[in-house]
Structures are given as structure tokens and as C-alpha cells.
Amino acid sequence: MNKPVKQHLIDPEICIRCYTCEMTCPIGAIEHDDNNVVVNADVCNFCMDCIPVCPTGSIDEWRVVDTPYTLEEQYGFEELPEQQDIEAAPVAGEEGEVDDSIAALLAEAHQGAGGKARAPVSASKPQINMYNLGKPAKMTVQGNYRLTDDPDHDVRHIILDPGALPFPVLEGQSIGIIPPGKDAEGKAHLPRLYSVSSPRDGERAGYHNISLTVKREQKGMASNYLCDLEKGASVNVTGPFGATFLMPNATDARLLLICTGTGSAPMRAFTMQRQRADATGGMTMFFGARTPESLPYFGPLKKVPKKYLRQHLVFSRIDEAKKEYVQDRIVAHEDEVAEMLGDERTHIYICGLRGMEEGVEKAMTSIAESMGLQWVNLRDSMREDGRYHVETY
């Protein structure tokens, strides 16, 4: 009998195949095929460098096993295997107790995972990974519209038509775009991820077409490819991906949306879906951009009725006005946010620049304090309930 060992795995249902972990791993322990991203148990030394860079938390999975899952087995995973029953006792012929970290993992498996991203209880079950690098979905560009008037800030609304291909997406999911051509090593490019900005039944209701919100980055290969696409062009798409940053279907749920720039993509999808469903719970949005001219969907947002969406549009670069970030406006509207934090129907979504997270944490900490609560406890229990969601980059 083998001594039990700890094995690092990746949850294929939640992983969005951004390959950030693989690029970060200093010893090449992470690899991928067309289907999954996997960890080589013979190489992984538990350095943990890959954990904080993963945008979904799918990387933070551990099992205690008698024999580690091979790469071949992991490539075949459609979902993570359950923790097997393992005796947390000294193994015959070995000295000492079972490793502390293994005992802790087994105890955790027994209690169920804590602190992980979860989907809202009433969310629909998403489809994931239907199309991959070896078998992408070919979609046709239906439109490519500029969303911003600022000449130095080109953000596009790009509409893709999967035609007869089934490609079901839920609001908050992402898709991968494979840029054409080869990289410097002559290999096909990896897909780049974009959050879907249209609702589940389509940009145009009933048509199941999909929209993206893409900012042209100066040297961004994929973003320039997308922003230059002409109507009728064909695009190779992977996905859909993501199983936690989803909206509740409960129509009385209340949504607190906090975003910057193109982080508004899933918020637009949520807003359209809630309007189409005539949801009663209401949404409050804190949306940060440089100026009104660089805020995606500025015009359409103005038309969303207040009964669905209360808007705080926050600008950082308006001449003669004080620089303002979303977290500043959240603090300025402390009572409104506190009232929402105190309501168990409230779900929080944060999407956009990674730097915003620290500021929002500080703002929430001070608001929770004024309610006599500790933000970390409130946040963790909301996350546990599937009511706290973060996607930053």
C-alpha cells in the first residue's frame, strides 16, 4: 500500500482556460491539451505561485490520494473526482503520523470546501467547454460598433453569430477567441478570454447571438484583431467557460454591481436579462471610467429605467473635477450600500481592474464596521452562499 500523498488538481468545470497558471508556474508543472489544464504530480512542488493568479479559484483544488491521478486521467476529467476514503492514520511500515497537511486536507474534504467561489443558489446550470482548441466553434461577425467617443480609447461592441451551432451562454460566462496565425514558436495562438455582454437568449432576443465588449490595447494582438473585424468575417471561438460568476434567477434578488471599463460587460448582460425578465429586486451599479466619452454603453445606460438599475457613474479624468474611483463613491453612499449589505437577498459582483479590489475591500470594511460587522466574515459568508463574486484582471 502506498503512503497517501497530497495532489494538486484543477477544477475543469470552473477553469476558464486562460492558461495564466501554466505561464506562471516556475517549474513547468502545469500543461494543457485541447480539453483541460492539468498539474503534473511528479513535478509540482506546492510552491503555490499559481494560486493567487488564477481568476476563478479553479486552481485551488487538492486531493489526498494513494496513487496520484496521471496526466492522461486528468485530461479526461469532465468534473473533479470526489475525495476518496483514505485512512488518516500512520501507514504500516512507515514511521510517525500522517503528514499534518494531509490530515488537514482530509478534515476539510469531510467538512466541504470553504471560501471557494460559488454560483448563486438560484442560478441556471451553465454549459462549459463545449468547443476547444482542436474543435472551435466558427462564428460569423454580425456587427462591430464603436462604443466610445474618446479618440484615444477605442472600445467596441462586437456581435458574433454561431449560426446553427449550439452555443448556450449564461450572463457572466466568458468565451475564448483564437487569434489567427502562429506565435513566435510556430504554434497556434492560445485563446484570449472575453466576458459575454449579451443575455442568455441572445443580443437580439431569441437569436442566440453573442456580444463582446473589447477595448483596443496598444500592442494587444487579440484585441486589435477583434476591434478590426469586419462584418461577415469568421472567428474561431472556444468555451463557454465559467460556472460561478453567474446571476441569480430569483427575480427578487438584489444586485450590487461594481465595475471599471470593460468590466461592465457582464453587468450589461445582467441588466438586459433582468429587464427582459422584469425582475423586481433592483440593481445598484457603481461604474468607473476615465470620462463619459470613454465609458462603454454610456448612451444605452441612460435609457435603463431606474426601477431596474440605480446608476453611479464615476469619472477619474474630468478636467477640473476631483479624481474619483468607484470605492470613493461607495463610501460617499455608505447608507445605501449598508442597507444592501444587511439584506440577505443582495448579491455582489465586482469586475474590472485588479487594483480596484483593494479599494473596494477598504470601503466595504469601513461600511461593515459602521454596521457593527466585520467585513471579512460577512464577505466570506456571502461567498459561501454564492452571493459574492469577483472577476478582476
Least distance in angstroms from the C-beta of 258 to ligand A2P: 9
C-alpha to C-alpha distances, 269 to 73, 206, 211, 296, nearest whole angstrom: 36, 15, 9, 13
Enter the C-alpha cell of residue 10. 484543477
By beta-carbon distance, which residue lies closest to ligand A2P?
A: 261
Nearer to ligand A2P, 216 or 310 (CB): 216
Span near ligand A2P by CB under 6 A; candidates 104-112, 123-131, 203-211, 351-359: 351-359
Query: Which residue among 126, 242, 288, 386 contacts ligand A2P (CB under 6 A)?
Result: 288
Enter the C-alpha cell of residue 248. 441569480
Least distance in angstroms from the C-beta of 175 to ligand A2P: 20
What span, in angstroms and rounded, lies between the C-alpha atoms of 31 and 36? Answer: 9
Nearer to ligand A2P, 316 or 366 (CB): 316
Span near ligand A2P by CB under 6 A; candidates 37-45, 74-82, 130-138, 350-358: 350-358
Query: Which residue among 126, 176, 261, 386 contacts ligand A2P (CB under 6 A)?
Result: 261
Q: Give strand pairing partners of 214.
A: 156
What span, in angstroms and rounded, lies between the C-alpha atoms of 14 and 310? Answer: 31
Burial readout 198-237 (b: 16 or more C-beta within 10 A, e: otherwise) = bbbbbbeeeebbbbbbbbbeeeeebbbbbbebeeeeebbb
289 part of the interface to ligand A2P, by CB under 6 A: yes
Q: Which of residues 147-186 bind ligand A2P (CB under 6 A)?
A: none
Q: Which of 389, 358, 287, 379 is nearest to 329 (CA)?
A: 287
214 part of the interface to ligand A2P, by CB under 6 A: no
What span, in angstroms and rounded, lies between the C-alpha atoms of 256 and 388? Answer: 10
Query: Which residue among 29, 214, 272, 326 contacts ligand A2P (CB under 6 A)?
Result: 326
What span, in angstroms and rounded, lies between the C-alpha atoms of 283 and 274? Answer: 9
Nearer to ligand A2P, 250 or 353 (CB): 353
- Give the DSSP H or E segment for 379: helix 375-384
Cβ-Cβ contacts under 8 Å for 2 (sequence gap 6 or more): 66, 67, 91
| Per-residue binding letters, 358-387, with ligand A2P (x by CB under 6 A) | -x----------------------------
Amino acid at 315: F
316 part of the interface to ligand A2P, by CB under 6 A: yes
> Cell numbers 466576458 correspond to what residue?
195
Q: Give strand pairing partners of 309.
A: 283
Span near ligand A2P by CB under 6 A; candidates 6-14, 276-284, 285-293, 384-392: 285-293
Strand order in the sheet with 192-195: 192-195, 174-178, 234-241, 137-146, 155-161, 210-215
266 part of the interface to ligand A2P, by CB under 6 A: no
Amino acid at 120: P
Span near ligand A2P by CB under 6 A; candidates 138-146, 180-188, 282-290, 302-310: 282-290
Least distance in angstroms from the C-beta of 263 to ligand A2P: 8
- Give the distance, in angstroms, between the CA of residue 146 and the centroid of all CA atoms in the same chain: 24
Nearer to ligand A2P, 202 or 288 (CB): 288
Span near ligand A2P by CB under 6 A; candidates 26-34, 86-94, 238-246, 349-357: 349-357
Span near ligand A2P by CB under 6 A; candidates 116-124, 274-282, 321-329, 365-373: 321-329
Contacts to ligand A2P by CB under 6 A: 260-261, 288-290, 294, 316-317, 325-327, 353, 355-356, 359
